[in-house]
Amino acid sequence: MRKSDVISRFGGDEFVGLFFGSSRAQLSRRLNRFLLELSKKPVKIDQHLIIFSFSFGISTFGEDGTELETLFKIADQRMYKFKTKYKQRKEKNDQS
């Protein structure tokens, strides 16, 4: 993350990030690269290897709306779409 980026816990296991000066496509590429790096570096706890991951949804101020509630709703919808695609991709890779 850059110095201008802000990440904060929103509640439970949810976090919100503010990324200034990034398009949705740029941010999506950055987050997908980060996910890939996480998958390559499992953490060993006792005798178990844990692979960390996360799901994300992105909304863009101005493009998707200007009200916080709208932006959260759109990001949440996109996160669930991401989860579905990510899970399908992971299952396909696990079968190979």
Residue 89 within any structural domain of the chain:
yes
Q: The tokens 């816990």 sit on which residue? A: 9
Give residue 85's pLDDT. 87
**Collapsed DSSP state (helix, strand, coil) of residue 53:** coil
CATH number at residue 75: 3.30.70.270
Q: Which residues of the chain have pLDDT under 70?
A: 91, 93-94, 96
Range of the domain at 57: 6-95
Give residue 87's pLDDT. 76
Name the residue among 82, 57, 85, 84 with its Cα closest to residue 71. 57
Number of domains within the chain: 1
pTM: 0.79
Residue 55 within any structural domain of the chain:
yes
Give residue 96's pLDDT. 64
Give residue 93's pLDDT. 66
Residue 30 within any structural domain of the chain:
yes
Residue 1 within any structural domain of the chain:
no
